[in-house]
Amino acid sequence: MSSPELLSDFGAVDPEADVDRSVSASAGVRRVVLWDLPLRVFHWSLVAAVSVAIVTGELGGAWMPWHGRAGLVIVGLLVFRVLWGVVGSATSRFAQFAPTPARLLAYLRGRWRGVGHDPLGALAVFALLGLLSLQAATGLFGNDDIAFTGPLNHLVDDATGARATGWHRWLANGLVALVALHLLAIAFHVIVKRHRLVRPMISGRHELEPGRDWPRPRGGGRFGLLSAVAVAATAVLALAGAGERPVSGASLPAKPALVAAPAGAASTPAW
């Protein structure tokens, strides 16, 4: 692979440098880099982490430590995605695909000619990122008093921790529903509309039809990538350390001792 192709796959140069000449020029079709490598790594890493979190959360018990680890990975990935949505390559930036009213109206009228996430797909992206952020936040403060304690639970009282655990459980149901809807939408586009959605998220490349608007190449440099990775890794390490650090009795009031539950009563687990 030549240097321009390598940089183009990274997402930092003119897509014209990565046009596949095997595609007929007379057809007016160009094969360009649609999704940069960092975004693809983020996407599939998030798929794996969310899958592990859902499965281990359902299993509960001895699997809850792995549920917590998957949650920390998700936090790191979300931090990275937010930063990469600002400093990443053109099609990775939130501003490029934000579902504005004008874009939504153009899409509904069949006049949207952009590339990457269409306005409805962009709504799904923001919904998933937002719901995952809420899910991760509630998990960080949650405590079911059985098998799971979030790394920031020591910063809140028992009642707040219990509420966070309850919200975490309810949001998990919404997350599973949204993921299922997302998969159904992908299946509809692939099977019914014959759109290639999965392959570009693996290879990064996409056939650009005539008339499609290609965003001005910008961002996606190595400094931005290293900075985003460093901040995300720091956040994960800090949270992991917070969960292991003993709490000083001088800095935080001691939690009241739990009163023994009546016979037959049991705490509700996080799963």
Mean pLDDT in residue range 199-215: 79
The owner of tokens 């001088």 is: 250
- The residues, ordered by sequence, that sit 6+ positions from 168 with a Cβ below 8 Å of its Cβ are 135, 138, 139, 142, 270
Comparison of pLDDT for 159 and 255, the residue scoring more = 159
Tens of pLDDT along 49-90?
A: 999 999 999 999 899 999 999 999 999 999 999 999 999 998
CA distances to 149, 160, 226, 233, 265 from 140, rounded to whole Å, are 8, 12, 26, 16, 26
Residue 166 contacts residue 158 (beta carbons within 8 Å): no
Whether the per-residue pLDDT at 5 is higher than 90: the answer is no
pLDDT at position 113 is 80
The predicted structure's pLDDT at residue 207: 80
Sign of the torsion formed by the C-alpha atoms of 84, 185, 166 and 264: negative
Percent share of the chain, pLDDT over 70: 76
- Identify the pLDDT of residue 1: 38
CATH topology of domain 40-203+220-244: Fumarate Reductase Cytochrome B subunit (1.20.950)
Domain ranges of the chain: 40-203+220-244
What is the residue-averaged pLDDT of the chain? 81
Nearest-10 crossing angle of helices 37-59, 64-87:
160
Give residue-wise pLDDT tens across range 123-163: 999 999 999 999 999 999 999 878 889 999 999 999 999 99
Is residue 261 predicted with pLDDT exceeding 60? no
Q: pLDDT band for 19, please (50, 70, 90 cuts).
A: very low
**% of residues, the chain, pLDDT over 90:** 54
Contact between residue 150 and residue 140 where contact means Cβ atoms under 8 Å apart: yes
Most confident of 39-53, 106-120, 187-201, 230-244: 39-53
- Hey, how many other C-beta atoms are within 10 angstroms of the C-beta on 182? 15
- State the pLDDT at residue 249: 40
Q: Which of 39, 120, 27 is nearest to 85 (CA)?
A: 39
CA distance 245 to 68: 16
What is the gyration radius of the CA atoms in the chain, in angstroms? 22
For the chain, the first-to-last Cα distance in angstroms comes to: 48
- pLDDT tens for residues 162-200? 999 999 999 999 999 999 999 998 898 889 888 788 888
Band the pLDDT of 32: cuts 50, 70, 90: confident
Angle CA 165–168–170, to nearest 5? 115
Using CA atoms, how far apart are residues 92 and 265, in angstroms rounded to an integer? 50
Provide the β-strand partners of residue 33. 205
Asked whether 236 and 244 are in contact (CB, 8 A), the reply is no
Distance CA 226, CA 167 (A): 34
pTM, entire model: 0.80
Is 41 a residue whose pLDDT tops 50?
Answer: yes
